[in-house]
Amino acid sequence: MSQPLPRIRMDLDFMPSPDPERPGLFMRDPHQYTDAQLIVPPFLVPALEMFDGVTTDLDLKQWLVQSSGRLDVSDIQTQLTEALSAAGFLENEVFEEMRDQVHQAFAEAPLRIAAHAGGAYPDSADEIREVFGERFQALAPPRDPSPGLIGIAAPHVSPFGGWESYCDAYRALGPDVKDKTFVILGTSHYGEPEKFGLTRKPFLTPFGETAVDLAAIEELAAAAPDATIMEDYCHATEHTIEFQVAFLQYLYGPGIRIAPVLCGPFARSLYEGGLPEDDEGVRRFLDALGELHARRKSEIVWVLGVDMAHMGARYQDRFPAMAHQGEMLSVSARDKDRIASIEKGDARGFWEQVQPRNDDLKWCGASPFYTFLKAVPEARARMLRYQHWQIDPQSVVSFAAMEFTQ
């Protein structure tokens, strides 16, 4: 009897093969449940659509016969199915076992190990100091911190792609914040909607091991248990907080004290209307963050790891995006309208600009920005720099450096 083919995981990365000698569709797992990478040849790419949980193995066989002109296609069918399954790319028991083992290993690990050292930034402390030092020195001399400074927003693109904004943001911090708790709000690119990911683990980078403000983490988890995921596996691979930790350690040494919070998308509000805090769990978490700030404002510095618009072919737009040209000129204008709302501390106005067309600008920093604006309504912002990064020949990411005062 024929059997339904398992569904292919839709949270994988799919892109054209980077190897010109091996054309096809390149597949990998951004969650790092598996380090397998596959290149599916062009002939077989349409067959991937059949792995939908409904189409059967007999349907796949018939398609292969018609497409290849061969009567015996069992070897092709078996190789494709087994390769996808062994890689952990199908929603079946093989993947579930991989995922459960990886989640358990992260939950039991004593440290959050740097996932991007050696790739997005150097894997040696001396080299980081040299590279970051050159970047900081390339800009104008730093100015004195603004009176009443309570935090900054920096990008989370590659440090080499957005170094001017990183440096402007971090040079806004003065030496007096070294011993405070850095509450870091980062985008959770793969996090659950209406959830906040927490971890008690110190972050370990090439600089060394951070401290963690466990009291703050436990307070947030206790206040909003339905909206928090403790030891959220997203922390294991997410770069949005790791990059901020590296810059903070460069400035203040490895033992900085952090309270890392990953902010998942506010999908219910974005797609169904209303405000994010209409969700009871989200409201409780935002209230708890606000209470933490009100009680400990002299001990806390806020750091947001946030990017803005994602436009062009890489992000499923029907046009090629070029930095500061064409369509990106109107994107810049809309970005700056949203930034103006952030500068005024206008959380509702900001969100009302995000909601239309389910955020067609694809601001992946929308949730951290809104979370901060609701937790610290007295905050006022100033944009220090606005940039575009041409991430590939047809795609652009926008971001900014900002400082927050009260």
pLDDT (tens digit per residue) in 126-183: 999 999 999 999 987 877 888 999 999 999 999 999 999 999 999 999 999 999 999 9
Residues contacting residue 39 through CB under 8 Å, at least 6 positions apart:
17, 19, 22, 24, 25, 26, 27
**pLDDT over 90 (residue 124):** yes
- Confirm whether 123 is domain-assigned: yes
Cβ 282 vs Cβ 227: under 8 Å: yes
**pLDDT over 90 (residue 367):** yes
Q: What is the CATH number of the domain that holds 210?
A: 3.40.830.10
Query: Nearest Cα to 347, choosing from 375, 321, 319?
Result: 375
| Mean pLDDT across 46-63 | 97
Do 145 and 66 lie in one domain? The reply is no
Question: What is the rounded average pLDDT for all residues in the chain?
Answer: 96
- Residue 44: pLDDT band with limits 50, 70, 90: very high
Separation of alpha carbons 245 and 331, rounded Å: 30
How many independent structural domains does the chain possess?
2
| Mean pLDDT across 34-61 | 97
Cβ 298 vs Cβ 379: under 8 Å: no
Separation of alpha carbons 135 and 249, rounded Å: 15
Do 315 and 230 lie in one domain? The reply is yes
Do 39 and 85 lie in one domain? The reply is yes
- Residue 21: pLDDT band with limits 50, 70, 90: very high
Do 82 and 119 lie in one domain? The reply is no
**Tokens matching residue 246:** 């590296």
Full domain range(s) for residue 180: 111-405
Do 98 and 116 lie in one domain? The reply is no
What three-state secondary structure class fits 95? Answer: helix
For residue 6, the Cα-to-chain-centroid distance in whole angstroms is 28
Query: Nearest Cα to 201, choosing from 243, 260, 251, 264?
Result: 260
HSE value, Cβ hemisphere, 13 Å, CA-based, for 140: 7
- Confirm whether 7 is domain-assigned: no
- Residue 323: pLDDT band with limits 50, 70, 90: very high
Residue type at position 178: K
Separation of alpha carbons 144 and 406, rounded Å: 17
Cβ 258 vs Cβ 210: under 8 Å: yes
- Confirm whether 221 is domain-assigned: yes
Do 358 and 299 lie in one domain? The reply is yes
Q: What is the pLDDT of residue 147?
A: 92
Q: What is the pLDDT of residue 153?
A: 98
- Residue 47: pLDDT band with limits 50, 70, 90: very high
- Confirm whether 2 is domain-assigned: no
Q: What is the pLDDT of residue 85?
A: 98
Do 40 and 189 lie in one domain? The reply is no
**Tokens matching residue 187:** 């985008």
| Mean pLDDT across 303-317 | 96
Q: Which helix (H) or strand (E) holds 13?
A: strand 13-16
- Confirm whether 134 is domain-assigned: yes
Do 376 and 230 lie in one domain? The reply is yes
Bridge partners (DSSP) of residue 27 are: 14, 38
Q: What is the pLDDT of residue 2?
A: 85
**pLDDT over 90 (residue 389):** yes
Do 131 and 279 lie in one domain? The reply is yes
- Confirm whether 8 is domain-assigned: no
One DSSP character per residue, 345-377 reads: T-HHHHHHHHTGGGTTT--TTHHHHHHHHHH-T
Share of the chain above pLDDT 70, in %: 100
Separation of alpha carbons 336 and 334, rounded Å: 5
Q: What are phi and psi of 290, to 5 degrees?
A: -65, -40
Query: Nearest Cα to 267, choosing from 198, 354, 175?
Result: 354
| Mean pLDDT across 73-89 | 97
What's 49's DSSP letter? G
- Determine whether 111 is exposed, middle or buried from the number of CB atoms within 10 Å of its CB (0-12, 13-18, 19+): exposed
| Mean pLDDT across 102-113 | 97
Domain closes at, from 56, 72, 104: 104
Domain closes at, from 69, 104, 139: 104
Do 335 and 266 lie in one domain? The reply is yes
Do 88 and 190 lie in one domain? The reply is no
Cβ 376 vs Cβ 404: under 8 Å: yes
Cβ 293 vs Cβ 252: under 8 Å: no
Query: Nearest Cα to 11, choosing from 22, 24, 27, 25?
Result: 27
Q: What is the pLDDT of residue 140?
A: 76
Domain closes at, from 104, 137, 153: 104
The H-assigned helical ranges of 202-279 are 214-223, 234-237, 239-252, 267-272
- Residue 239: pLDDT band with limits 50, 70, 90: very high
254-278 per-position pLDDT tens digit: 999 999 999 999 999 999 999 999 9
Cβ 165 vs Cβ 247: under 8 Å: no
- Determine whether 4 is exposed, middle or buried from the number of CB atoms within 10 Å of its CB (0-12, 13-18, 19+): middle
Q: What is the pLDDT of residue 33?
A: 96
Do 53 and 143 lie in one domain? The reply is no
Query: Nearest Cα to 400, choosing from 237, 199, 167?
Result: 167
| Mean pLDDT across 187-216 | 98
- Confirm whether 4 is domain-assigned: no
- Residue 54: pLDDT band with limits 50, 70, 90: very high
